[in-house]
Amino acid sequence: MKKLLTATAAGALITGAAFAQDGGEIKMGVILGFTGPIESLTPAMAAGAEMAMQEVTESGKLLGGATVTPVRADSTCVDSAAATAAAERLITSDGVKAIMGADCSGVTGAVLANVAVPNGMVMISPAATSPALSEAEDNGLFFRTAPSDARQGEVLANILMEKGIESVAVTYTNNDYGKGFADAFQSAYENAGGSVTLSAPHEDGKADYSAEVGALASAGGDALVVLGYVDQGGAGIIQGALDTGAFDLFAFGDGMVGDQLTANFGADLEGSIGTAPGSQNEGVDTFAEMAQGAGIDGTSVYAGESYDAAALMLLAMAAAGSSDPADYAGKIEMVANAPGEPIGPGELDKALEILAEGGDIDYGGATGVELVGPGEAAGSYAEYTIEDGALKVVGYR
Amino acid sequence: MDLLNGLVALANFVLIPAIAYGSQLALGALGVTLIYGILRFSNFAHGDTMAVGTMFAVLATWGLQAMGVGFGPLPTALLAIPFGILGAAALVLLTDRFVYRFYRAQKAKPVILVIVSIGVMFIYNGVTRIIIGPEDQRFADGARFVISARDFKEMTGLAEGLALRTSQVITVIAAVAIVAVLFWFLNRTRTGKSMRAFSDNEDLALLSGINPERVVLVTWLIVAALATVAGVLYGLDKSFKPFTYFQLLLPIFASAIVGGLGNPLGAIAGGFVIAFSEVGITYAWKKVLVYMMPPALEPDGLMQILSTEYKFAVSFVILVIVLLFRPTGLFRGKSL
C-alpha cells in the first residue's frame, strides 16, 4: 500500500511537471527525409514548418507564452525502419507534443502505424499523397495538408482526354506514392475511354534508365505520363526518352513539376502538360514573400504545406488550451475549416488572439487548406503547360 | 526497309545505350578490381571516390567555363579531368595515410578493411554533399549529339530514329584507350610488373625487394584516375548527383564479381554482361518484331521477357549463377 502511494505521488508529480512545461517549451518533431531521394526538397520544407513555429513563439500567445522548438529527425524517405526509430526517439527521448511529417507515403504509413497510433501522437504530413493513406487506421490522429493522389489522377486523366490524347505509356517511381498515383490515373483514364499501353515502374537514383525507356518506347502511345520525382529517376527517364526520340509529348505529376524540369529540359518539352497541387489564393504569394524574407524558397514544393501542417497543430493546441495530443487532435479540423475568420500565412498572431477570446477561425494558410474526408486536404490542382521553355499555369481544377 | 527499321530501333534502344552503360560500369569495375587484386579488400567507398573526383572536375569545369575556356564541340569537362584526378588522388592518399595504413600495419583481415571502407564511404558521402550539395549538377556543354534521332530520320527516310550522343562516343573511346594503357602499364612497365608480383604473392614480392608502400601509392593513384574518369564520363552522359554515384556501387560490384574479382579483363567483360542483361532482357521486343516478322506473325503483346522492375534481379541472378558454377568469375579472378 505504501508503495502504491509513493508511486501515485510520483506519478502525480511527473504529470504536474508535464503541465508546468506547457507554459515553457513545446517541442514539435519535424520528421522529413533529410537524407535520401528527396534530400534536395526537405530543407525548404523543414524551414517552412520552422517559420510557423517561430511566428507562434514570437507572438507569445500560445498557452501563456510557450516557446515552440523544432526537433528535426530523418525519415530517409525510403527506409521505414529508420523512420520508425527516428519517430520513436522524438516521442520517448525528446518528448515532442506533435509531429510534422513524415514526407514520403511509405515511411509516413510506417510511422503512423508503428509510432503515432500506439503513442497517441498527432501527425500531419505535408507531402504524403498516397491514396492508401486515406484508409489507414489512424484513430483520428493523422492529417495531411497534401491531397490524395486519387484526385490528382482524375484531374490529369481528364486534361489528357480533353486534349484528345487517347493512348499513353505510364512510368512511375516505384514506391507507395508512384504506385498509388499510377493506379489512380490508369483507372480514371481508362474509365474516360483512354488506353494505357504500358505502366512500368522505375527505381529512383539508379545508374541507368535505358531499359525502362526502351520498353516504354516499344509499347508506344501519344504521350508519356511520368509520375516520379524531378530530381530523381523521372529526370533520367525524360532524358532517355528525349535523347532516343521515343516520345516528345509528356504529362507530369506533381513530383515532376518544378523549376528543375524546365531548367534541364526547357524547350524540348514544349506543349507538355503537368498538374500539381495549387490553388488560386493570395496565401501562396504572401507565403513566398515571407519565405524569401527568411531566406528560403517559398515556391519549393511542399514548403507551404509544411508551414500549414505546423501551424494547424499549434492553432489546434491553442483552441484546445492544451498541448496534449489527446486534447487537441479533435480541434484540428475545427481550426482548418469554416466557419470562422479566414487566416492567411503570417497571421498566426491574429489567429491565436481570436482563439484566446473563444472565437473561431478558418485557417487557409499558404495553400488554402480545407480538410475533407479522413482529414486530408481537398485538393485543388493547377494545370501547367510548358510554353517557351517555362512552366505556365493555365488554369485550376 | 522494315528490316532496317527494326535494326535501327534495336540499336537505338538496346545496343547503343547498353554499350555506353557497359563502358561506364567497366571503368568503375576496373578500379574495384585493382584494389581487390593488390590491396586485397573490396572497396565500398569506390562509388563515392567517383563522386569526389567528379565533383572536383565539375568545379574545375565551372572555373574553365567562367574563364571562357571551351573545347569546341567536345565537353569542357574533359579538360577538367586532370583537376578531378588530382583532387581524388589527394583525398584517397590522405585516406590511405590516416586510415588504411594503420590497418595494413596490423595485417587486418580483409573483412575488417571492408567495414573500414564503408566508414570511409560515409565520410566521402558527407564531404561531397558539404562541398557541392546533394542536388543534381549538369556540367555538360558542347554538342550533345553526334546525330540526333530527328536528323537521322530526315537523312535516311526511315521511320525509326537513331540517336548517338557525343558523351556515348567519348565514353566508349575513352574506355578502350584507358584499358589499353592500363594493360600496357601492368604488363610492360617495371612498376606495373611489381604491382602484379605484389598481387600474386605478397611475401615473395617483398623478399625480392619490391617496396610495398610504392605499390600501394601507385595503385591508389591509378584508382583515383580510373574513378574520376568513370565518374566524369558517367556524369556527362547522365548527370552528376552524389546519391546516384553511391547507388552505382551495386552494378559496379556485380560487374567486377561476374568478371572475376582481381582480374582487369574480367571487370570489363563483367561491365558489358551486366549492362546488356539489364537492358536486353527487360526490353519489350514488340517494336523490333513488328518490323521483322511477316504481318501474320506480328505479336499483340509487348514481347517482354521480364518487366523492367526485375532488371536488378536479372543482374543478380546472373551473379548467383556465375558464382555457383564458376566461383572465381568468368575470367578466373580470385575466389571470394
Q: Percent of chain A at pLDDT above 70?
A: 93
The CATH number that domain A26-148+281-377 falls under is 3.40.50.2300
Cα(B191)–Cα(B213) distance, integer angstroms: 12
d(CA A324, CA A96): 10
Is the Cβ of B40 closer than 8 Å to some Cβ of chain A? no
Asked whether A71 and A94 are in contact (CB, 8 A), the reply is yes
Query: A150-278+380-396: what CATH class?
Result: alpha beta
Nearest-Cα distance to chain A for B37, in Å, is 25
Distance from CA of A230 to the nearest CA of B (A): 10
Using a 10 angstrom Cβ sphere, with 0-12 exposed, 13-18 middle and 19 or more buried, the burial of residue A298 is buried
Characterize the bridge pairing of strands B145-147 and B164-165: antiparallel
In chain A, which among 184-203 make CB contacts under 8 A with chain B?
A: 198, 200-203
Kindly report, as residue ranges, where domains of CATH 3.40.50.2300 are found in chain A.
Answer: 26-148+281-377, 150-278+380-396
B334, part of any domain:
no
Strand-pairing partners, residue A147, are A377
CA max distance for chain A: 82
Q: Is A202 close to B308, i.e. CB distance below 8 A?
A: yes
Quote the CA–CA distance of A174 and A131 in Å, as a whole number.
15
pLDDT band at A111 (very low <50, low <70, confident <90, very high): very high
Are the beta carbons of A129 and A147 closer than 8 angstroms?
Answer: yes
Query: Which among A282, A283, A226, A279 is positioned nearest to A256, based on CA atoms?
Result: A226
Flag whether B58 is in a domain. yes
Q: Which cell goes with B180? A: 589499353
Q: Residue A72 — pLDDT band, cuts 50, 70, 90?
A: very high
Nearest CA in chain A to B287: A218
Write the burial class of residue B62 (CB in 10 Å: 0-12 exposed, 13-18 middle, 19+ buried): middle
Which of B10, B13, B164, B292 is the mutation pick for testing A, counting most A CBs within 10 A? Answer: B13
pLDDT of residue B326: 84
pLDDT at B91 over 90: yes
Most confident of A237-246, B117-126, B290-299: B117-126
Return the pLDDT at A19: 45
Tell me how far apart the alpha carbons of residues A186 and B288 are, in angstroms, rounded to a whole number: 26
Distance CA A105, CA A120 (A): 20
Question: B265 lies in which domain range?
Answer: 2-325
Query: Is A387:A270 a contact under the CB 8 Å cutoff?
Result: yes
Contacts of A168 by beta carbon, 8 Å cutoff, 6+ apart:
A160, A189, A194, A195, A196, A197, A221, A222, A223, A224, A225, A251
B46 touches chain A (CB under 8 A): no
- As a whole number, mean pLDDT of residues B224-229 equals 94
Enumerate residues 276 to 295 of chain B having a beta carbon within 8 A of any beta carbon in chain A: 278-279, 282-288
Is the pLDDT at A104 greater than 60? The verdict is yes
The vertex-A262 CA angle with A50 and B21, nearest 5°, equals: 105
The rounded distance, in Å, linking the Cα atoms of A45 and A127 is: 9
Reply yes or no on whether the pLDDT at B75 is more than 70: yes
| Chain B residues touching A202 at Cβ < 8 A | 308
Residue B214, domain CATH: 1.10.3470
B148 touches chain A (CB under 8 A): yes
Contact criterion met (CB < 8 Å) for A219 and B243? no
Is the pLDDT at A323 greater than 60? The verdict is yes
A214 touches chain B (CB under 8 A): yes
Q: Is residue B42 part of a domain?
A: yes
| B244 contacts on A by Cβ (under 8 Å) | 205-207
Comparing alpha-carbon positions, the chain A residue that sits nearest to B282 is A211
Q: What is the pLDDT of residues B146-186, one digit of tens each?
A: 888 888 888 888 888 888 888 899 999 998 999 899 999 98
Domain assignment present for B331: no
* Total number of domains in chain B: 1
- A205 at interface of B, judged by CB pairs closer than 8 A: yes
How many Å apart are CA A192 and CA B183, to the nearest integer?
61
Q: How far apart are the two ends of chain B, measured CA to CA in Å? A: 50
Q: Which of A76, A167, A179, A208 to mutate to test the interface with B (most CBs of B within 10 A)?
A: A208
pLDDT of residue B335: 47
The distance of A201 to chain B (nearest Cα, Å) reads 6
CB contact under 8 A, B286 and A207: no
Interface residue B191 vs chain A (CB under 8 A): no
Q: Are the CB atoms for B160 and B12 separated by under 8 Å?
A: yes
B279 and A231 within 8 Å at the Cβ level: the answer is: no
Say if residues A225 and A169 touch (Cβ distance below 8 Å).
yes
pLDDT band at B336 (very low <50, low <70, confident <90, very high): very low
The residue among B308, B309, B310 with the most chain A CBs within 10 A of its CB, best to mutate, is B308
Does the structure show a pLDDT above 70 at A14?
Answer: no
**Burial annotation B164-197 (CB, 10 A radius, 16+ → b, else e):** bbbbbebbbebbeebbeebeeebeeeeebebbeb
Residue, of A309 and B134, whose pLDDT is higher? A309
Q: State chain A's mean pLDDT as an integer.
A: 86
CB of B179 less than 8 A from some CB of A: no
| Cross-chain residue pair B243–A39, CB shorter than 8 Å | yes
- Weakest mean pLDDT among A322-326, B114-118, B140-144: B140-144
> What is the band of B294 on the pLDDT scale with cuts at 50, 70, 90?
confident
Strand partners, A301: none
Mean local confidence (pLDDT), B325-330: 83
Q: Give phi and psi for A182, each to the nearest 5.
A: -65, -40
By the 10 Å C-beta count (0-12 exposed, 13-18 middle, 19+ buried), A65 is classed as exposed
CB contact under 8 A, B18 and A201: no
Q: Would B186 be classed as within a structural domain?
A: yes
What's the distance, CA B162 to chain centroid? 24
